Amino acid sequence: MNRLTEEFHELLRPEAALIAYCCEKPQRKYYLETRPILENGKMGEGRPVSHEFMNRLLNAYGESHSGAPFGFVPERLLYCDVRMGREKYVWFDPPGKRMMYFSEGLGIENAEYHMPGVAYVVENDTLRVYAFRGERPQPQEKLFLGPFFNTFSSHVCLGTARLDKPKNPTYAELLAYWEKRFWQSEFSHLSGEGNPTKHNLVLVTKAARDRPFDPDELKPYDKTLEQLCL
């Protein structure tokens, strides 16, 4: 469910109808009028649109878009769509060491571990993660399943990391928010699909503490980065 759909599940009261009239000849002209919605649900008398009404409308629209990021675009950001109801952000991290936290039941120590390159996709306020070979993902190369606990078909179960989402973030702040929600969560379980790696994920993760992550452990995913951006 996207943000626009969620808003329509709230109780909304009709306030006014905006009606546009058009005249094609001798040249195209428009006339706008508003009609108040009465308590009985019917429209009241039409009046020309006032500056006050348009300002209220524009202010409300601006507030609904206040969460759209702004500022310099980080080099890691590969794709973004900020249109309301279609928000999507795709970015990556090159291979490197990451601080990771695990539940006691897994028997993995909280520490820094070598991880492969990670591609992040945020859409409809949900996070998906994928792995890739090399330093930077290529648009037409197939991705791999993210070698992580708490994932199901690359969708992330965001549980323990509690962070307030920035209201007016820069692009860099938005990316940092989602990365913190992922990496600062406690990794605790596998999904019903089993290991996202070719061998036991516990052993694969432990092995990556003192040496680079083994890329041969990655399981192929059936889509490319380019397809994820469509």
Calculate the average pLDDT of the chain.
Answer: 89
pLDDT at position 46, please?
A: 87
**Are 99 and 59 in a shared domain?**
no
- Per cent of the chain over pLDDT 70 is 90
Q: Are residues 125 and 216 in the same domain?
A: yes
Q: How many domains does the chain have?
A: 2
One domain for residues 122 and 179 = yes
* Residue 8, domain member (yes or no): no
Q: Are 175 and 76 in contact (CB under 8 A)?
A: yes
Q: How confident is the model at residue 163 (pLDDT cuts 50, 70, 90)?
A: confident
Tokens 């989602």, located at residue:
178
In this predicted structure, which of 20-34, 169-183, 211-225 has the lowest mean pLDDT? 20-34
By residue count, the chain amounts to 230
* Whether 129 contacts 151, CB under 8 Å: yes
Q: Within this chain, do residues 163 and 58 fall inside the same structural domain, yes or no?
A: no
112 and 212 Cβ atoms separated by less than 8 Å: no
What's the start-to-end Cα distance of the chain, in Å? 18
206 in the same domain as 103: yes
Residue 149 has a CB neighbour count (10 Å cut-off) of 23
Tokens linked to 49: 């649109």
Same domain, 112 and 166: yes
Q: Would you state the pLDDT for residue 144?
A: 98
Give me the pLDDT at residue 150, please.
95
Q: How confident is the model at residue 62 (pLDDT cuts 50, 70, 90)?
A: low
- Report the chain's C-alpha Rg in angstroms: 24
Give, for 112, the enclosing helix (H) or strand (E): strand 111-115
Lowest average pLDDT, out of 58-67, 81-90, 114-123, 167-176, goes to 58-67
Sequence-distant (6+) residues with CB within 8 A of 57 are 18
Distance of CA 214 to the CA centre of its chain: 28
Looking at the structure, tell me whether residues 81 and 122 fall in a common domain. yes
Same domain? For 136 and 56 the reply is: no
Residues 221 and 176 in one domain: yes
Q: What is the pTM of this model?
A: 0.73
53 and 91 share one domain:
no
pLDDT of residue 67: 66
**Residue range 128-147, pLDDT digits in tens:** 999 999 999 999 999 999 99
Q: Which residue range(s) make up the domain with 215?
A: 77-228
Q: Edge-to-edge strands of the sheet including 16-23?
A: 16-23, 29-36, 47-48
pLDDT at 63 over 80: no
